[in-house]
Amino acid sequence: MVLPTDTELLKAQADLWRHSLCYLTSIALKCAVELGIPTAIYRLGGAATLSSLATELSIPQSKFPFLGRIMRFLTSSGIFTTDDSSGEGTYNLNLLSKLLVDGIVLDGDAHQKAIVLTTTSRYYMEAALGLASWLKKDTSPPVTSPFQDLHGATLFDDSMACLDPEAHELFSEALAAHDNLGISVVLQKCPELFKGIQSLTDCCGGDGTTARAIIKAFPDLKCTVLDLHPVINKISADDTIEYVAGDMFKIIPPAQAVMLKLVLHFWNNEDCVKILTQCKKAIPPREEGGKVIIIDIVVGSTSKEMLEIELLMDMLMLAVTNGQQRDENEWCEIFMKAGFSGYKIVKKLGPRGIFEVYP
C-alpha cells in the first residue's frame, strides 16, 4: 500500500469531517425556518444587522453571539448573503432564502418552508437513520420503504393521517410546494409540449394548480385532472377543467396526451409499468398525436453539483418511499416494458427532464 502524504491524510480527515457533519446544514436551515429568520430579514427591509435580527426574533442578549455563529454558517452555506459595505455587517436574503419568506409568492403558490420542515422532521430523519438495519432485514417482496417499516404508515396516505394528522398535513403541504414550483418555467421553455394538442389529462394532477397554469397559457386545450377521491372532493368546481376522481391503476381518462408530472419517481418499476400501460390505453396512436408527457428528475447531469442533488433526491426516495429517481436508461427500460415505441427528452431543466413518450 502506498503511504499517503501528511497533506493527503489531513485532506482525507477534513473530508470525513465534512461528510459526517453536513447534516448540520439541514439542521441549521431548519432552525432558521423555525425561528422565522428569512421572514424577519424581509420585515426589516431585506437586510438586517445581527442585533436588529436578534431583537426582531426576540432572542435574549445572552444568545446573540450564538445566533451570530449560526448566521455565519448559514451565510457560508449559501442560504443568506452578507454585506459589509456600510461598515456594519448585514445579513441579506438571496433567492433561496426568499423562497422561505412568509407572504412572498414566487412562481405561483410555491412557498417552500414546508419542504425544509418535512425533510428535517423526525419521521424522515428516523427513517434515514435506520437504513443499515433496514438493509440487513430480509423481507419478501414487495419490499417496503424504511419509512413504512419504521413508522408503520405510508407517506401521503390515510395511514399517515391516522398516525399523526399534523405531520400528514405538513408533508402534504411540502408535496404541493415541491410540485407547484416550476410549471411556469416549463411553459416558458417548452411551449411546444402543449401546442397543437386538443386534449390533455393531467394524471395525478392534485389540486389542479398545474392544469390551471396550462389552461391559462393554452385556453383552447380541454384539460382533465385525475386524482384520488379525497383530493378531488376538496376542489371547488370550475368550468375550465374537468376533475375526475379515480385510480390511475384502473383507468385514466382518455385524451390526446397524458401528463405525469413528478409522479413516477414515487413508484417502483413494476408500478410505473402498470401506470404507463394505462396511459398508453388512454391516448391515440402516435400518428394522431398521441403522447405521454413526463416531467421528472433524470439522474446523470454532467455538473457535479446537479448530480449530487439528483442523487440526494434518490436517497430521499429510498428512505421514505418505494420509488426511485432514474437515469435515462432506467427511464427507457420502463417505457419499453410498457409497450411504448420511442421517446425524446425535450429539455433538461436543472435536475428535471421533460420527456415525450410515444405509443
Contact set with ligand SAM (CB under 6 A): 175, 179-180, 204-206, 209-210, 226-228, 231, 247-249, 261-263, 266
C-alpha–C-alpha distance, residues 205 and 341, integer Å: 25
343, HSE (Cβ side, Cα atoms, 13 Å): 26
* Closer residue to ligand SAM (CB): 79 or 153: 153
Question: How far apart are CB 237 and ligand SAM at their closest, in Å?
Answer: 18
Question: How far apart are CB 35 and ligand SAM at their closest, in Å?
Answer: 29
Classify residue 208 as left (phi > 0), alpha (psi -120 to 50) or beta.
left
Using the Cα atoms of residue 295, residue 263, residue 182 and residue 311 in order, give the sign of their dihedral: negative
* Closer residue to ligand SAM (CB): 72 or 352: 352
Using the Cα atoms of residue 308, residue 311, residue 315 and residue 317 in order, give the sign of their dihedral: positive
Question: How far apart are CB 114 and ligand SAM at their closest, in Å?
Answer: 14
Question: How far apart are CB 249 and ligand SAM at their closest, in Å?
Answer: 5
Residues with Cβ within 8 Å of 215's Cβ and at least 6 positions away in sequence, in order, are 221, 223, 240, 241
* Closer residue to ligand SAM (CB): 179 or 310: 179
Question: How far apart are CB 126 and ligand SAM at their closest, in Å?
Answer: 22
Query: Are 256 and 293 within 8 A, CB to CB?
Result: no
Residue of 107, 174, 142 lying closest to 316 (CA atoms): 174
DSSP assignment letter at 4: P
* Closer residue to ligand SAM (CB): 102 or 247: 247
* Closer residue to ligand SAM (CB): 47 or 295: 295
* Closer residue to ligand SAM (CB): 119 or 180: 180
C-alpha–C-alpha distance, residues 115 and 171, integer Å: 8
Task: Please give the grid coordinates belonging to residue 148.
Answer: 413504512
Question: How far apart are CB 142 and ligand SAM at their closest, in Å?
Answer: 15
Query: Are 73 and 32 within 8 A, CB to CB?
Result: no
Given the C-alpha cell 473530508, which residue does it identify?
15
Using the Cα atoms of residue 330, residue 110, residue 223 and residue 219 in order, give the sign of their dihedral: negative
Residue of 177, 247, 187 lying closest to 211 (CA atoms): 187
Using the Cα atoms of residue 99, residue 173, residue 131 and residue 311 in order, give the sign of their dihedral: negative
Question: How far apart are CB 69 and ligand SAM at their closest, in Å?
Answer: 37
Catalytic residue among 111, 151, 168, 265: 265
Task: Please give the grid coordinates belonging to residue 38.
Answer: 428569512
* Closer residue to ligand SAM (CB): 127 or 211: 211
For residue 156, what are the CA distances in angstroms to 120, 148, 173, 320?
16, 11, 10, 11
19 in active site: no
- Residue positions annotated with a catalytic role: 265
